[in-house]
Structure 1
Amino acid sequence: MRTASGATLDFGRLALLLLLMGASWYFWYSPVLWPVKVLVVMMHESGHAIASLLVGGSVDRVHLQLNEGGSCFSRLPPGVFNRVIVSSAGYLGSAVAGAGLMLATFRFRLGRAVMGAASVWLAVMGFFYAGDLFTLAFCLGMALAMGLGARFLPTGLVDALNLFLSAFTALYVIFDLRDDLWNSAVRAQSDAAILASETWVPSIVWAALWTLLSLALLAVSAYWAMHAKPGGGVKLPPVARARRV
Structure 2
Amino acid sequence: MAPRSPPPPTWATLGRATALTLTPHLLSRDHSVISKRALAVSDAQKVTLGVIAAYVVGIAILWNVPYIRWILWPFKMLVIAFHEFGHAITCVLTGGKVKSISLDPREGGVTHMQGGRSGLTLPAGYLGSSLIGALLTFAGFNINASKVASIVIGVAFLLTVWWGRRDWLTIGTVAAAVGLLVGCWFIRGAEALRFVVLFIGVMSSLYSVWDICDDLILRKVNSSDASVFAKRYGGSSQCWGVIWSVISLCFMAAGIVAGIAAFPQSAEQQREDAQKFIPTRF
State the Cα RMSD in Å.
Answer: 2.5
Q: What is the SS of the residue equivalent to 1:27?
A: helix
**Counterpart position of 1:220:** 254
Q: What is the SS of the residue equivalent to 1:71?
A: strand
Q: Do the aligned partners of residues 226 and 18 (structure 1) sit closer, same or farther apart at CA in structure 2, a change above 3 Å counting?
A: farther
Question: Which letter maps to 1:119?
Answer: G
How far, CA to CA, are the matches of 1:24 and 1:205 in structure 2?
25
**Counterpart position of 1:17:** 52
Q: Deviation at 1:102?
A: 1.3
**Counterpart position of 2:35:** 4
Question: Which letter maps to 1:196?
Answer: A
How far, CA to CA, are the matches of 1:230 and 1:111 in structure 2?
15
Deviations 1:134-193 (A, max 9, x none): 22222233223323434x23221111111121222233332112112334731x211112
Question: Which letter maps to 1:89?
Answer: A
Kept in 2, the 8 Å contact 1:127–1:136? The answer is: no
How far, CA to CA, are the matches of 2:120 and 2:74 in structure 1?
28
Q: Do the aligned partners of residues 230 and 223 (structure 1) sit closer, same or farther apart at CA in structure 2, a change above 3 Å counting?
A: closer
Report which stretch shifted further, 215-224 or 83-92: 215-224
Question: Which letter maps to 2:75?
Answer: V
Unpaired stretches in structure 1, ≥5 consecutive residues: 238-245
Q: What is the SS of the residue equivalent to 1:106?
A: coil
TM-score, normalization by structure 1: 0.82
Q: Does 1:50 align with 2:85?
A: no
Q: What is the SS of the residue equivalent to 2:37?
A: coil
TM-score, normalization by structure 2: 0.73
**Counterpart position of 2:26:** none
Q: Does 1:39 align with 2:75?
A: no
Q: Do the aligned partners of residues 126 and 230 (structure 1) sit closer, same or farther apart at CA in structure 2, a change above 3 Å counting?
A: closer
Q: Deviation at 1:227?
A: 4.7
User: 1:67-82 residue pairs with structure 2 within 5 A?
Assistant: 67-77=106-116, 82=117
Report which stretch shifted further, 19-28 or 216-225: 19-28
Q: Does 1:84 align with 2:115?
A: no
Q: Which of the residues 146, 151, 155 maps onto 1:120?
A: 155
Share of identical aligned residues, percent? Answer: 26
Q: What is the SS of the residue equivalent to 1:145?
A: helix
Q: Does 1:134 align with 2:169?
A: yes
Kept in 2, the 8 Å contact 1:192–1:204? The answer is: yes
Q: Deviation at 1:20?
A: 2.1
How far, CA to CA, are the matches of 2:47 and 2:196 in structure 1?
15
How far, CA to CA, are the matches of 2:104 and 2:146 in structure 1?
29
Question: Which letter maps to 2:126?
Answer: Y
Q: Deviation at 1:89?
A: 0.2
Q: Deviation at 1:5?
A: 6.5
Q: Does 1:66 align with 2:105?
A: yes
Q: Do the aligned partners of residues 230 and 202 (structure 1) sit closer, same or farther apart at CA in structure 2, a change above 3 Å counting?
A: closer
How far, CA to CA, are the matches of 2:97 and 2:245 in structure 1?
27
Q: Does 1:201 align with 2:235?
A: yes
Kept in 1, the 8 Å contact 2:139–2:149? The answer is: yes
How far, CA to CA, are the matches of 1:20 and 1:89 in structure 2?
24
**Counterpart position of 1:166:** 201
Q: What is the SS of the residue equivalent to 2:191?
A: helix
Indicate the structure (1 or 2) with the bigger Cα radius of gyration.
Answer: 2
Unpaired stretches in structure 2, ≥5 consecutive residues: 1-32, 273-282
Deviations 1:70-117 (A, max 9, x none): 11110014xxxx111000101101110110101123269411121122
